Structure 1
Amino acid sequence: MSRDRLNDFNTGTEVISSKIQQFQANITEIDQLFTKNVSRPADAEGAKQLEEKTRTTNSLSTEIYDRLRALTESNRRVHTKEEYDRRKLRTSTLSKQFKDAVSRFQGMQYQNGQKSKDNIARQYRIANPNATEDDIGRLVDQDQGGAFSQQLLQQARGQQATAALNSVQNRQRELHSLQESVVELAALYQQLEHLISDQDVQFQEIEASVFRAGNDIEKADSLVGLALVDGKSARQKKWFALGIVVLIIIIILIIGAAQGWFKSAA
Structure 2
Amino acid sequence: EFNGGKSNHATVELVPLQGTTLNQFFQETEVIHSKIQLFQSSIAEVEQLFDKNLNSRANSETTKQLEDKTRETNNLSTEIYDRLRALTEANMKVRTKDEYDQRKLRTTTLSKQFKDAVSKLQNVQYQNGQKSKESVARQYRIANPGATDEDIRRLVEEDKSGAFSQQLLQQARGQQAVAALSSVQSRQNELQQLQESIVELAQLYKQLEHLISDQDLAFQQIEASVYNAHSDIEKADVLVGAALDDGIAARKKKWMVLGIVVLIIIIILIIGAAQDPLKFWLSALSEVAGSFRYITTDDSSTERLTIKGAFRDSIKLLQKIQATVQCQALDESKELRED
TM-score, normalised to structure 2's length? Answer: 0.74
Alignment correspondent of 1:205: 221
Is the Cα contact below 8 Å between 1:113 and 1:179 reproduced in 2? yes
Is the Cα contact below 8 Å between 2:20 and 2:93 reproduced in 1? no
CA distance in 1, matches of 2:27, 2:137: 50
CA distance in 2, matches of 1:3, 1:206: 15
Q: Is residue 262 of structure 1 aligned with residue 276 of structure 2? A: yes
Q: Is residue 98 of structure 1 aligned with residue 111 of structure 2? A: no
> Helix, strand or coil for the counterpart of 2:92?
helix
CA distance in 2, matches of 1:8, 1:41: 50
CA distance in 2, matches of 1:56, 1:49: 10
Is the Cα contact below 8 Å between 2:94 and 2:222 reproduced in 1? yes
* Candidates 218, 231, 240, aligned match of 2:256: 240
Shift of 1:255: 3.0
Q: Which amino acid in 2 is paired with 1:19?
A: K
Residue by residue over 1:16-39, the C-alpha shift from the partner in whole angstroms, topping out at 9 and shown as x without a partner, is: 111111111100100011111111
Is the Cα contact below 8 Å between 1:145 and 1:173 reproduced in 2? no
Alignment correspondent of 1:37: 53
Structure 2 unaligned blocks of 5 or more: 1-17, 279-331
CA distance in 1, matches of 2:58, 2:36: 33
Residue by residue over 1:48-96, the C-alpha shift from the partner in whole angstroms, topping out at 9 and shown as x without a partner, is: 1001100111111111111111111111211111211111111111111
Shift of 1:256: 3.0
> Helix, strand or coil for the counterpart of 2:261?
helix
Alignment correspondent of 2:65: 49
Shift of 1:144: 4.0
* Candidates 64, 68, 76, aligned match of 1:60: 76
CA distance in 1, matches of 2:64, 2:20: 45
Residue by residue over 1:198-251, the C-alpha shift from the partner in whole angstroms, topping out at 9 and shown as x without a partner, is: 111111111111111111211222222112111111111112111211221122
Shift of 1:196: 1.0
Is the Cα contact below 8 Å between 2:169 and 2:181 reproduced in 1? yes
> Which one has a larger percent helix, Structure 1 or Structure 2?
1
Q: Is residue 26 of structure 1 aligned with residue 42 of structure 2? A: yes
CA distance in 1, matches of 2:20, 2:177: 68
Shift of 1:42: 3.1
CA distance in 1, matches of 2:264, 2:139: 121
Structure 1 unaligned blocks of 5 or more: none
Q: Which amino acid in 2 is paired with 1:261?
A: Q
Alignment correspondent of 2:194: 178
CA distance in 2, matches of 1:3, 1:137: 52
* Candidates 229, 235, 238, aligned match of 2:245: 229
Alignment correspondent of 2:6: none
The higher radius of gyration belongs to 2
Is the Cα contact below 8 Å between 2:162 and 2:185 reproduced in 1? no
How is 1:59-208 mapped onto 2 (pairs within 5 angstroms)?
Answer: 59-144=75-160, 146-208=162-224
Shift of 1:254: 3.3
Is the Cα contact below 8 Å between 1:80 and 1:210 reproduced in 2? yes
Compared CA separation, residues 3 and 105, structure 1 to 2 (3 A): closer
Compared CA separation, residues 3 and 16, structure 1 to 2 (3 A): closer
TM-score, normalised to structure 1's length? Answer: 0.93
CA distance in 2, matches of 1:198, 1:226: 42
Report the more deviating stretch, 73-82 or 115-124: 73-82
CA distance in 1, matches of 2:98, 2:264: 60
CA distance in 2, matches of 1:95, 1:135: 44
CA distance in 1, matches of 2:26, 2:19: 11
Alignment correspondent of 1:253: 269
- How many residues were matched structurally? 263
Identical columns (%): 70
CA distance in 2, matches of 1:160, 1:144: 24
Q: Which amino acid in 2 is paired with 1:94?
A: L
- The structure showing larger relative contact order (alpha-carbon pairs under 8 Å, at least 6 residues apart) is 1
